């Protein structure tokens, strides 16, 4: 009897243990099912709190993707370039002669503004001034001698006229005397006297012409002497002017101004820079250069925004021309020269490193797509009738996180970020709940305002 009781108690214990295990297993299974349904719901597979709906819809409708609608917009392409500010109009400040400084312009110092024609400083010119005075005296003496020689020529010329008249009279007398002698009306002595008088007049005329020729030669020599004297005066004047250092242009003086009494040489002591005519020499890629070059091979006058890397100084400029830039290895490359607007010049300094935003001509009717939507080969996944359709588009520009393409795809739905597993013709559905085919998801909407494309290429 006792043995039977033990068997009954053992059986009861086993049944109780099995029941507890079954109950515990049911609890664990319920918990796992609830957790799985919650995860599916979080991934967008369920809605309305009904477990399992998302998984069933995904299986029935296809891959869940972000879908947006392509919209036409206006793009303002911007090319980014870098370069330095240069001053094409500048002048070195240096004395032409060595010597002691006798005068310095008031206020001349580093950073001072000067005007063309200002005497910046002056070297002691006492010796040069004395040389000029001597040259001027020599010039006046030469001019006086020349004037005297010319007067002598005039006097001799007047005497020549008288001698010519005397010769004519002597010749006439000889002609009258000769027939008289032939007829015996006059003696031979009268004929000899007439002949002697005619010969003397002829000799005087020849001598006078020789004197005039000599006087004219003296005049020619005097003219040469005057020219030499004039040149000497001009040299002396230049030598005197070299003692003054004059500003050749308007601008800002940079350098070390001399002091009165200081000895200076002909080495440059500074520079004058015209800050109203600054330029930026910009290095661009070949692609960017082609976009700012017109059909005639000249630069398109595009607007440029310049700024220092710190961003504290900005200025406006305009593309003026293209030029060749020779690097240290003697290779040549094209650079764009942008001329700063006159009122912007003082805001940047020669030598400043700048970033340039070249505003190219606006493109109307283009479509902006996120970079994630366009493959490197230019393919975009469109959505038609709930299926993925792979097509290649014509990419105009890539700018930042956007790609601009031809506007023919405006109004079509596309996949914002197609995964590698997505295939052509595969069934797809919008990820955002309630989004239908052709309806933008919030992450994929495009604005209607013009876009500024930033392109560093």
Q: What is the mean pLDDT of residues 97-108?
A: 96
C-alpha distances (whole Å) from 350 to each of 268, 283, 358 are 19, 16, 20
Which pLDDT score, from 0 to 100, does residue 435 have? 42
Cα–Cα distance measured from residue 44 to residue 412, given in angstroms and rounded to the nearest whole number: 24
Which pLDDT score, from 0 to 100, does residue 18 have? 41
Q: Residue 259 class from Cβ within 10 Å (0-12 exposed, 13-18 middle, 19+ buried)? A: exposed
Which residue in 31, 62, 28, 17 sits closest to 426, CA to CA?
62
Answer positive or negative: Cα dihedral of 410, 416, 421, 426: negative
Position with higher pLDDT, 145 vs 455: 145
Given a contact cutoff of 8 angstroms between Cβ atoms, the answer to whether 453 and 78 are in contact is: yes
Which pLDDT score, from 0 to 100, does residue 286 have? 86
Given a contact cutoff of 8 angstroms between Cβ atoms, the answer to whether 174 and 197 are in contact is: yes
Which pLDDT score, from 0 to 100, does residue 343 have? 63
* pTM score, whole prediction: 0.57
Average pLDDT, the chain: 81
Q: Strand ranges (DSSP E) for 221-267? A: 244-246, 251-255, 263-264
Which pLDDT score, from 0 to 100, does residue 44 have? 40
Give the pLDDT band of residue 327 (cuts 50, 70, 90). low
Share of the chain above pLDDT 70, in %: 78
Q: 67-71, 236-240, 393-397: which range is least confident on average?
A: 393-397
Q: What would the pLDDT profile of 255-275 be if each residue is shown by its tens digit?
A: 999 999 999 999 999 999 998
Q: How is residue 346 annotated by DSSP?
A: G
> How are beta strands 428-430 and 67-69 bridged, if at all?
unpaired
Q: What is the mean pLDDT of residues 163-172?
A: 90
Q: How many Cβ atoms from other residues are within 10 Å of residue 318's Cβ? A: 13
Q: What is the mean pLDDT of residues 367-386?
A: 92
Q: Which residue has the tokens 């086993």?
A: 14
Which pLDDT score, from 0 to 100, does residue 379 have? 93
β-bridge mates for residue 93, sequence order: 270
The torsion region of residue 317 among left (phi > 0), alpha (psi -120 to 50) and beta comes to beta
Q: Strand ranges (DSSP E) for 95-247? A: 99-104, 113-114, 119-123, 244-246
Give the pLDDT band of residue 329 (cuts 50, 70, 90). low
Position with higher pLDDT, 117 vs 31: 117
Answer positive or negative: Cα dihedral of 107, 112, 113, 117: positive
Q: What is the mean pLDDT of residues 237-264?
A: 95
Give the pLDDT band of residue 432 (cuts 50, 70, 90). low
Which residue in 416, 415, 392, 404 sits closest to 365, CA to CA?
404
Which pLDDT score, from 0 to 100, does residue 53 have? 43
Q: What is the mean pLDDT of residues 330-356?
A: 80
Residue 40 has pLDDT above 60, yes or no: no
């Amino acid at each position: 009897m006792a043995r039977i009781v033990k068997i009954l108690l053992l059986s009861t214990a086993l049944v109780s243990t099995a029941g507890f295990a079954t109950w515990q297993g049911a609890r664990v299974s319920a918990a796992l099912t609830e957790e799985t349904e919650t995860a599916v719901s979080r991934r967008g597979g369920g809605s309305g709190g009904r477990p399992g709906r998302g998984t069933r819809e995904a299986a029935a409708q296809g891959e869940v993707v972000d879908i947006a609608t392509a919209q036409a917009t206006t793009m303002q392409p911007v090319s980014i370039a870098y370069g330095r500010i240069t001053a094409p109009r500048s002048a070195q400040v240096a004395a032409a002669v060595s010597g002691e400084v006798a005068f310095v312009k008031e206020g001349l110092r580093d950073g001072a503004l000067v005007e063309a024609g200002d005497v910046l400083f002056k070297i002691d010119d006492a010796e040069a001034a004395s040389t000029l005075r001597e040259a001027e005296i020599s010039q006046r003496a030469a001019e006086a001698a020349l004037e005297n020689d010319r007067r002598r020529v005039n006097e001799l010329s007047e005497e020549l006229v008288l001698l010519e008249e005397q010769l004519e009279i002597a010749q006439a007398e000889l002609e009258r005397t000769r027939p008289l002698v032939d007829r015996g009306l006059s003696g031979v002595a009268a004929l000899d006297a007439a002949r002697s008088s005619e010969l003397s007049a002829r000799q005087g005329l020849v001598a006078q012409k020789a004197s005039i020729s000599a006087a004219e030669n003296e005049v020619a020599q005097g003219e040469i002497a005057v020219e030499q004297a004039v040149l000497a005066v001009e040299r002396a004047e230049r030598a005197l002017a070299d003692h003054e250092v004059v500003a050749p242009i308007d601008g800002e003086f940079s350098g070390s101004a001399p002091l009165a009494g200081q000895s200076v040489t002909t080495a440059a002591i500074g520079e004058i820079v015209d800050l109203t005519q600054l330029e930026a020499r910009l290095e661009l890629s070949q692609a960017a250069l082609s976009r700012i070059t017109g059909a005639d091979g000249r630069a398109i006058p595009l607007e440029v925004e310049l700024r220092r890397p710190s961003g504290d100084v900005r200025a406006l400029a305009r593309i003026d021309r293209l030029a060749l830039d020779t690097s240290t290895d003697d290779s040549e490359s094209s650079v764009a020269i942008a001329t700063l607007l006159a009122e912007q010049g003082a805001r940047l300094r020669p030598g400043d490193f700048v970033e340039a935003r070249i505003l190219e001509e606006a493109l109307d009717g283009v479509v902006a797509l996120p970079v994630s939507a366009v493959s490197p080969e230019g393919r975009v996944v469109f959505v038609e009738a709930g299926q993925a359709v792979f097509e290649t588009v014509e990419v105009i520009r890539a700018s930042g996180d956007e790609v601009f393409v031809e506007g023919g795809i405006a109004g079509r739905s596309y996949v914002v970020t197609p995964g590698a597993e997505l295939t052509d013709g595969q069934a797809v559905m919008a990820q955002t709940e309630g989004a239908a085919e052709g309806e933008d998801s919030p992450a994929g909407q495009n604005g209607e305002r013009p876009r500024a494309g930033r392109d560093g290429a």
